[in-house]
Amino acid sequence: MNESQSNSILLRRLGRPPVLSEELETKLVNYVLTMESKFYGLIRRDLEYMAYQLAEANNVPNPFRDQKAGKNLFHGFMRRHADKLSLRKPTGTSFARASGFTRINVNTFFDNLNSVYEEHRFPPESIVNVDETGITIVYKKHLRF
């Protein structure tokens, strides 16, 4: 065995290959980062459902059950994209309110709102005012980017 053959053996990945291609995983990473930039963090279950939907929409053969990917896909995905994504536990609302309500954050929120409105041009009957009462914004586990 020559040196180039031994190097190729050392560089070979062990285990099953990822279900989603690099291109599809890149799309998923970009979507997760976009949602985070709009102050909407995703939980593991959201990512598992999105991975399933992405595989189905692109006719990728997959072992997924119950219309979602499993924990193995999630952990492998997070390991492959650890340079961009990380798993964090959120802090309580009171701390977030005390430290997060700044002019910069409010301006960022309204800039995001304006860009979404400009992109989609929602009709007036699709725009609703929602009070935060009863809406949970802190999950047990939270993807933080």
pLDDT digits (tens, 9 = 90+) for 90-113: 555 566 666 777 888 889 989 998
Going from N- to C-terminal start, the domains of the chain cover 16-144
Helix (H, G, I), strand (E, B) or coil at 24: helix
| Distance of alpha carbon 120 from alpha carbon 137, whole angstroms | 24
Taking the C-alpha atoms of residue 120 and residue 127, their distance in angstroms, rounded to an integer, is: 12
| Mean pLDDT across 119-138 | 76
Q: What was the pLDDT predicted at 92? A: 56
Q: How far apart are alpha carbons 144 and 100 in whole angstroms? A: 15
The pLDDT of residue 144 is 58
Question: Do residues 138 and 92 make contact, with C-beta atoms less than 8 angstroms apart?
Answer: yes
Is 45 in contact with 67 (CB distance < 8 Å)?
Answer: no
pLDDT in tens, 45-57: 888 888 888 888 8
The sign of the dihedral angle between the CA atoms of 32, 80, 24, 15 is negative
Question: What is the chain's mean pLDDT, rounded?
Answer: 79
